[in-house]
Amino acid sequence: MNTLKHYAIWLNVPIEEATSKHVLLYIDSLLEKRLKPKSINCHLDSIRGFYEYLAREEGIDIPNPVKRGYVLRLPRPLPRYVRDEDLEKFFKVIKGPRDKAMFILMLRCGLRVEEVENLSTRAVNLKQRKILVQSGKGGKDRVVYISDDAYIALIHYLRVRSPGYSKKVFLVEKGIYKGKPISVRGIQKRMEYYAREARLRISCHHLRHTMATQLLNADADLVSIQDLLGHSRIKTTQRYCKLSNRKVQRDYYKAMATVLQRSMNGIKKT
């Protein structure tokens, strides 16, 4: 009601006579007041909903001046990654083999927390050092590969893993649910605990972001990283390029060395 009140006061024509042009001018006025895109979109949703209510509930035949395309794009924050020194702090506070295996798979294989929860023993091929991620985001399957340190951590955990009939890899280790598959929330709670212990601001997804950034800095192909992370669009993977300053730095100096060499050769000839 508050947003509708502001809109009604601002309008210089009756509400039923407002057009899409009026709405665009109203958006400009909100931008001049330095409202954030999210707040402006809330205003537009309220106004659109009001006109829909008039047509649906009151039977008033008024064209809705707020078109579906009238929405401000929200800024997308860059994915955060964990620095090497902070990774060392984080893994230093992890004591249990299960938790170390869970989080190192996120870091080295780029697994989402839901994918770690759903990981089955049949999906892990230790001999070939690969994992079949089944029904990942968007219902897609993909194959990821197991690094040396992830292999060691996983083997160590599987040797001490609670015996049971569960097909899931990671199980609850204490309490009445011992031997049952650990939940997403259970994994997140372990992450929160270790983050506090290490005094870091870190989440499960930050480990996945870190893998992408590290691979890019190691000159891995962008399409390969896309496949490993299970991104449906290359644009999603390209966002990591903005974080990968070391690769940009190397590329710059390598290219600049070639430029300078050509310039010096040209000067010598003249």
* Choice among 129, 137, 142, 247 that is catalytic: 137
* Choice among 7, 51, 81, 240 that is catalytic: 240
* Choice among 48, 89, 112, 209 that is catalytic: 112
Q: How many CB atoms lie within 10 A of CB 15?
A: 16
The DSSP-derived string for the chain is -HHHHHHHHH-SS-GGG--HHHHHHHHHHHHHTT--HHHHHHHHHHHHHHHHHHHHTS------SS-TT--PPPPPPPPP---HHHHHHHHHS--SHHHHHHHHHHHHH---HHHHHH-BGGGEETTTTEEEE-S-GGG--EEEE--HHHHHHHHHHHHHPPPSS--BS-B--SSTTTTSBPPHHHHHHHHHHHHHHHT----HHHHHHHHHHHHHHTT--HHHHHHHHT-SSHHHHHGGGGT-HHHHHHHHHHHHHHHHHHHHHHHHH-
The full length of the chain comes to 270
Active site residue 205: yes
* Choice among 142, 168, 205, 239 that is catalytic: 205
Describe the strand order of the beta sheet including 124-125 as a list of residue ranges: 124-125, 130-133, 142-145
* Choice among 22, 43, 48, 231 that is catalytic: 231
Q: Which two tokens stand for residue 78?
A: 């860059």
Active site residue 233: no
Active site residue 199: no
User: What's the gap between Cα 151 and its chain centre?
Assistant: 25
* Choice among 100, 190, 208, 209 that is catalytic: 208
Active site residue 206: no
Active site residue 231: yes
Active site amino acids: 112, 137, 205, 208, 231, 240
